[in-house]
Amino acid sequence: MEQSVTTIPHDYPEPVATDSYIIPTLGLYHGSFVFTYLSTFLSYITPYDLPVELLRDAFHTKVSFLQLILEALKVESGYICLIAIFFLISLIPLCYTIAWGCAKEPDDDLNPGPTVDAIIQAEELSLEESLHCRKSFLGLMLQVVILLLIAGVIAMFVTNEQIASAVDHTPTVVRSSLLDAATYLRDAESQMRFVIAQGLATATERIRDDLEAVDKLLGEPIQHHLALFTGIDIIFESIIEISTSSSNLSRRIHLLQDALARAAKISYEAEYRLDELQIQLTVLQRQCTFRDRPLCDTLRIRNFEDTGLIDRIRKLQADRTLAKLMAMGEASRNSSMHALSQELTLARATFRNYAGEVRNATEDQADLVEERLEELSNDTEATVSVLSQTIGELVGQVNRTANFSDSFFDRYREIGAILWLAGLATTIMTLLVTLILLSALSCGCCHADNKAGITLILGAVCICIASLALSGFTMMEMLLGAHGQLFICHPLYNEPDYTVLQKLIDKPGLIYPTEPQYGIIGELLRQAAPADARWSQPVQISLSKALNECEQGRGSYGTFQLDSLLNLSAKIEHRKRPELERAIESVGASEEPFLGFTVRIQGILEDMLYDSDLNMTSTRIELTQLSPDKDVLTFIDQLQRVSAQIQDVATSSRMTTLGSRAKRLQLSLLAPLEQLRGDIVYHLTALELQLSPWAAQVNKSLTHLRNAQSFLDTDAAEVCYNRSDTYRARLRGHLDAYRNYTTMVLNDRCASCRPLFDIFDAMRMLFCHHIMDPMNGLWFSAFLCLFLWAVATPLSLMLSSTYRRLEILSTKLQHSNSHRYNARASVREDQRESSHWSTQRSVSVHVNAMAESSTDEELSHYTATGSGEEDGTEEGAVVIEYIELRYESGDPTNYRESLI
């Protein structure tokens, strides 16, 4: 038989997670981390496999610091190469400065002798132009280097301040992380306790409500099912209709009996009168004359005995079937209808009160179920108590860690302050050296070439000294940043496997001297759990799996395998609790009230059906044929005809008198009796018409009732069992729903361990992005300045040499012009130099050069030639003619002369 499916509601109360975490409010994820790309570079020089055993021994001080360094050098070739590069670059300024000082040529090479021809003078002027071009180029390059140095100094200052800020912020972040961890543990315990306890309370309350409503949930469905399949209510209604029909039938029989009684009374009187009339007729026949005797003998009158009317009336009056049918509709206690009504009322009450009977019958079983539920609640409360003790111990460990961290942070701040001072001093030193170079450029822009050259040499010397200090600082910061990247950031960001972190903490682990058997999470739970805790199995979850599941926001219960400690799934599984199962199984409905509860009704209906087998047709026909009134009327008519034929007047008179007496008898008794006979026939006819449908109705109701009772006798047990099983399934469904709800919520959305990952992510964000990235940026900026110093040193020294050579060349040219040319030439020369120095230089030294290079004869020739051309010229003086040399396209070898 198909069972109806019971819907189990799943609207269990949901736990509410707290939002009072501090980490999200610290703003660790805000800002830009410029030097994160250096971690990619460091990953190429990082050894792939860290010496985990060595680190564990160093953590537990089993090896000395010197041994740790020696063992680390074996796997840190990349760092050693970087250190070597930093050191070599720091030596470049010193080596170049020494080489420059040793290889410097004397400044006399710019003075070829007391006499030079015009071509050589032109080359000197071209050299001066090239030196100016070199000065401009070197100055421009040095400006670019200084700008980059300023950017590097700014980066050093910013990153150093970022490191100092992060170091100062570290205690707050760590304390906030520990507070968030404690908050998470308490919140997780509260949520899991709420889910376990409130879920069971909800399931228990619903089971109790179902036990209270067993009449509606079990009794009424059985009653409705049986009523639907048997139609017992319709049958009962039809039996009630039979009662109504029986009352009508009984009233009809009462009318019949009343007519029979009156007919019997009249027939008795009529029989007596007819007997008298018969006597009188006999006397009359004897008194007839001999001649009239044949006529008198023809007179006959039928007696009631002859007609059998009285016998028929008496027989109908004494008919027991009619009496039973008549008594059936009476209200007396002995009547069939009264018995039928009582049985029908009892049967209907039995059927309709079945739900209440079920409730009364299951009170003891319901009490037993509630006792077992109370035991389940006690066991669950003990389980929650184990959870509370374990989490309370974990909270205590977190608090002890927070207290221990205070002393650690004092030392941490001291180290941070030392690193900040070292970075600040290095930054200031780099800035001072950069300012020296910048001041040299400023002197060059102000045409103080001598001061600029000396300042550049001073800057180069300062670079030589500062490079060594800067390289040492760079090495220190690189080792700190690179090893921090290696030992902290690389394990923390090795997603999703966290291979290194798992090796460092899980197996073999740095915290425990001996390797934990089941990992750090299992060890922490084992130490925090009460001593009397019964582990179903060890907690075997890797740190990487826990971090990945927490990142996805999975529930703490499933992530950390707390069911191994609590064994909750077995305790809330009702199928594993035999006492509770037996108590639930004992709850059910019985079919006993339905077995044979209509038997007496069937008996009454069978009797009624048997009594309905009454044949009134023959009686009705006989009564139709019997008519004493007609017989008397026939006698009167015969008496009148005979009287008319009688010749004896006295006999005729006596016959007339007898006829009058017969007429009175007919009018007074036989006519009413005839009417009653008609009524009796009518009532018999009506009784036959009512009795047949009534019997059919009784027969139909009896048949339906027998079928219904047969169904109840054969199938009521199965219906009760199926409905009881459905009801018990509903009770178990509440426990299944609680188990499924608890399992789903605990493993999925209750007590999400995402806050733990947020704490982990915040710590790695602090140490890697807020400390290690700026520290890597600091050594990279320092290395950039060191490299720029290596570039700036040759630029500075070459620019200093250029300044020196320009100064010497300018001094020589100015001295030659002032001693060999007159004032006019000097003025013109100065004008030409100032007006067209770079593209077209006018030179008026050709004649002067010729004079200096000529012999005395040639000189006297020139003197004599010019003695008469100009008055006022002293004798023996040299006459100077100004010739302008104009170069073509700036080429000193391609020129033409013109006299000025």
- How do residues 93-102 score in pLDDT, each as one tens digit? 889 888 888 8
3 state DSSP class of 404: helix
Taking the CA atoms of 695, 699, 702 and 704 in sequence, report the sign of the dihedral they define. Answer: negative
Distance of alpha carbon 540 from alpha carbon 361, whole angstroms: 51
State yes or no: pLDDT of 740 exceeds 70. Answer: yes
Rounded to whole angstroms, the Cα distance separating 144 from 482 reads 30
The pLDDT score that the predictor gives to residue 877 is: 41
Q: Which two tokens stand for residue 39?
A: 């971690």
Indicate the range of 290-294, 422-426, 437-441, 793-797 predicted with least confidence: 290-294
Question: CA torsion 333→335→339→345, rounded to 10°?
Answer: -80
Write b or e for each residue in 80-116: b if 16 or more Cβ atoms lie within 10 A of its Cβ, otherwise e.
eebbeebeebbebbbebbeebeeeeeeeeebeeeeeb
Q: Name which of 327-341, 365-379, 394-408, 839-853 the model is least confident about.
A: 839-853
Mean of all residue pLDDT scores within the chain: 77
The DSSP output letter for 877 is: P
Amino acid at 841: R
Of the given ranges (816-820, 865-869, 886-890), which has the lowest mean pLDDT? Answer: 865-869
pLDDT for the residue numbered 418: 92
C-alpha dihedral over 88, 94, 100, 103, to 10 degrees? -80
Query: Which tens digits make up the pLDDT trace of 183-224?
Result: 999 999 999 999 888 889 999 999 999 999 999 999 999 999
Span 398-427, pLDDT tens digits: 888 877 767 778 888 888 899 999 999 999
CA dist list (Å): 736 to 10, 689, 750, 833 = 10, 65, 19, 108
pLDDT of residue 256: 78
- pLDDT of 872 above 70: no
pLDDT 10s digits, 439-467? 877 775 665 566 767 888 888 889 999 99
111-115, 453-457, 549-553: which has the highest mean pLDDT? Answer: 549-553
* Predicted local distance difference test score (pLDDT) of residue 285: 76
pLDDT band for position 154 (cuts 50, 70, 90): very high
Confidence band for 370, pLDDT divided at 50, 70 and 90: very high
What lies within 8 Å, CB to CB, of 352 at 6+ separation is 223
In this predicted structure, the answer to whether residue 561 has a pLDDT above a threshold of 60 is yes
CB atoms within 10 A of CB 429: 18
Looking at residue 840, its pLDDT comes to: 35
Q: Exposure string (b/e) for 518-544, b if CB count within 10 Å is 16 or more?
A: bbbbbbbbbebbeeebeeeeebebbbb
Neighbouring CB atoms inside 10 A of 255's CB total 17
- Are 391 and 188 a contacting pair, CB within 8 Å? yes
Confidence of residue 30 (pLDDT cuts 50, 70, 90): low
Q: Is the separation of the CB atoms in 118 and 845 below 8 Å?
A: yes
Integer Cα distance of 476 and 66 in angstroms: 17
Please report, in angstroms and rounded to a whole number, the separation of the first and last CA atoms in the chain. 138
> Phi then psi for 897, rounded to 5 degrees?
-100, 150
Tell whether the model's pLDDT for residue 640 goes beyond 50: yes
| pLDDT of 748 above 70 | yes
Angstrom distances, CA of residue 646 to CA of 120, 163, 697, 768:
217, 169, 65, 161
DSSP string, 837-870: SSS---B--HHHHHHHHS-HHHHHHHHHHTTTTS
What tokens does 41 get? 């570079």
Rounded to 10°, the helix 773-820/77-102 angle is 10
As a whole number of angstroms, the distance between CA 687 and CA 616 comes to 8
Distances (CA, A) of 580 to 47, 370, 375, 587: 62, 9, 9, 11
Helix (H) / strand (E) containing 700: helix 671-747
pLDDT at 266: 78
Bridge partners of 887?
A: 895
Q: Look at residue 182 and tell me whether its pLDDT is greater than 80.
A: yes
Specify the range with the lowest mean pLDDT, choosing from 56-70, 262-276, 552-566, 825-839: 825-839
Q: Exposed, middle or buried, 411 (CB in 10 Å: 0-12/13-18/19+)?
A: exposed
Radius of gyration of the chain (CA): 69
Q: How confident is the model at residue 161 (pLDDT cuts 50, 70, 90)?
A: very high
How many beta carbons lie within 10 A of that of residue 446, not counting itself? 10
Residue 531 has pLDDT above 50, yes or no: yes
Helix, strand or coil, per DSSP, at residue 7: coil
**pLDDT top residue among 76 and 50:** 76
Q: pLDDT higher for 661 or 171? A: 171
Bridge partners of residue 332, in order along the sequence = none
Q: What is the DSSP letter of 888?
A: E
pLDDT at position 114 is 44
Cα–Cα dist 219/211, whole Å = 12
Banded pLDDT at 294 (limits 50, 70, 90)? confident
Q: What are the backbone angles phi and psi of residue 34, rounded to the nearest 5°?
A: -70, -35
What pLDDT is stored for residue 758 in this prediction? 92
Closest by CA to 246, choosing from 657, 605, 644, is: 605
More confident residue, 817 or 712: 712
> Where on the phi/psi map is residue 573: left (φ > 0), alpha (ψ -120 to 50), or beta?
beta
Contacts of 59 (CB under 8 A, 6+ apart): 510
